[in-house]
Amino acid sequence: MSKSDWTAPPREALRASVVGPIADYDPSSTPGYSGDKDSGAKALVERGAVLADLQEKLFANGRSGDHRNVLLVVQGMDTAGKGGIVAHVGGLCDPQGLAITGFGKPTPEELSHDFLWRIHKALPPAGKIGIFDRSHYEDVLPVRVHNLVPESVWSQRYDIINQFERELVDAGTTVLKVALVVSKDEQKKRLTERLDNPTKYWKYNPADIDERGYWEDYLQAYQAIFDRTDNDHAPWYLIGADRKWFSRLAVCELLIDALERLDLSWPAPTFDLEHEQRRVADC
Ligand code: AMP
Ligand code: MG
């Protein structure tokens, strides 16, 4: 029912190289998915159970010496719903199996190191799904748009990132990267809501209005990321974020797909099963 609402695997339908360029992408579209909001919300519940099962298997294997793990990078303009992905997709999993890190403006200490320093420290341990709410890509987004470092420095970061992610993958991390694409109109609506609702004031940052003024520059900076760092071993997916139900379902499906391809099985007992069954029966 719900899974069949996908007319193409999200891994193919949402790949940045397929659906881009970002400037022409319709953030209210649902590429590869023919269902509506109701069926999408139902599907998230059903598929969430599948995700949870796979995540537990990954965690169990991590406890049994398997070094593999997953890293989900979540990027997107302000209000695109990055926190919602963490809460509503991460929330489908056992919190024990997650390693969630949000990256804000670098601290003076972080700035005194290489831009990947704080990223290395936050990488997920074996058996866990790491979720990055913003990431090393900020170092070629606001940093590029505002020239926070000279172009000669930020322009080298694409190659450095590619090499970093290649090493991560070679060491057993499945890397997937999602860019949540919100429209300018929808962003205005969400910013307005934040000011209309006292429970959302905390989410409002006056600086977001200034960043909004650089919309086209950000689109260009995002496109440069897709052009230079969308690799088969660490792919970028472009996910329309005007419909939150869709972005959450799509990320859930992409994670399921990544975990399924790890071909996990439940760890075998490290003890004599029959002997232990007899002991439990007799105790
Ligand atoms: P938020 O995600 O709403 O907590 O905002 C975090 C802010 O930190 C955003 O304005 C980001 O663009 C900014 N930020 C994150 N990483 C960097 C970075 N490496 N350089 C400059 N600004 C950054
Ligand atoms: Mg913010």
Among the bound ligands, the one closest to the CA of 206: 2
Q: Is 21 in the pocket of ligand 1 (CB under 6 A)?
A: no
Q: Is 113 in the pocket of ligand 1 (CB under 6 A)?
A: no
Distance CA 225, CA 141 (A): 9
pLDDT beneath 70: ranges in the chain: 1-4
What's 201's DSSP letter?
A: G
> How many residues are listed for the chain in this entry?
283
Residue 1: the pLDDT is: 42
Closest CA to ligand 1's atom 13:
105
The predicted structure's pLDDT at residue 2: 46
Query: What tokens does 11 get?
Result: 């891994």
Decide: 52 and 44 in contact? Cβ < 8 Å: no
Q: Does the beta carbon of 165 sit less than 6 angstroms from any atom of ligand 1?
A: no
The residue contributing the CA closest to ligand 1 atom 22 is 105
Residues within 5 Å of ion ligand 2 by Cβ? 78, 205
Fill in the amino acid letter for 182: V
How is residue 125 annotated by DSSP?
P
Pocket test for ligand 1, best of 74, 103, 112 (most atoms within 8 A of CB): 103
205 Cα: distance to centroid of ligand 2 (angstroms): 6
Kindly report the pTM of this predicted structure: 0.97
- The model's pLDDT over 48-61, given as tens digits with 9 standing for 90+, comes to 999 999 999 999 99
- In angstroms, the CA 183 to CA 189 distance is 10
* Nearest alpha-carbon partner for 200 in 79, 91, 74, 77: 79
Q: Is 158 left (phi over 0), alpha (psi -120 to 50) or beta?
A: alpha
Distance CA(42)–CA(48), nearest Å, equals 10
What is the C-alpha to C-alpha distance for residues 101 and 183, in angstroms, rounded to an integer? 25
